[in-house]
Structure 1
Amino acid sequence: MLNFHSGVRFQQGRGLGSIFGSIFRGLKPLAKMGLAAGKRFIKSDFAKSIGNTALDIGKTAATNMAVDLLEGKKLSDSAQEQLDDAKSKIASKLKGGCAKKRKKTKKTGILDYEDDDKPCSKKSKAKKYSLLD
């Protein structure tokens, strides 16, 4: 006679592992699509420009806070002021600005940039990211 472990005689089902396994098998394709879309977004020019803007704003904020500390201002007041400034600059970058209009001058025929304070009349076509692509 061989000695071996036969387990519980009346064990049924696969326990909680079967429930969680089926949930994770269903969510796995969605997670892959989300990660792929995230990778495409990170590589986009828009994300790079936002990152560069945030880096520039961070540098200027740190410099301005150091100057304020040397002048004797409170750190909390200076930090709040720089944070408000950074929020407004990043928000304006996210909203996007109008490209300057090129206007050909009649005399020289050279393209010149025209500054308008008016809002954009037509919106630029933004690249859409879909989780289903």
Structure 2
Amino acid sequence: MKTLDKFRTFYRGTGRRKSSIARVRLIPGSGKLIINELPGESYLQFSPNYLRISFAPLKLLGLTNEYDIYVQVEGGGLAGQADAIRLGIARALCIMNPVNRYGLKSEGLLTRDSRVKERKKYGLRKARKAPQYSKR
């Protein structure tokens, strides 16, 4: 828990997915989402799927209109960024109230998805794709 000034308290969480990193701040407010200083809906291209993914922890706990969410996100694409935001929000909610951990953990919202792109190997075209084999 940190304070912006004497009266405003906020909670911080960091989420990662693929090559995306999201730094999330939850501030008591009206439920607006600001990503990289843009409205969250426009940043996520008005995609209901990305918005649903991002708000999943708050919806699960019934806190959708209780906190303003400020996010600094970098790297990756929108799918990875939405998942990183979800993890950052879930971690901030756990810091806010440790009782929240049980519900979030049982839904799998606190598990970091560690799958990242595999590196390319020499002699291959991609990570695993080999050149066509010719017998003769």
Greater relative contact order: 1 or 2 (C-alpha under 8 angstroms, separation 6 or more)?
2
Q: Which has the larger radius of gyration?
A: 1
Q: Above 0.5 in TM-score? A: no
**TM-score, with structure 2 as normaliser:** 0.23
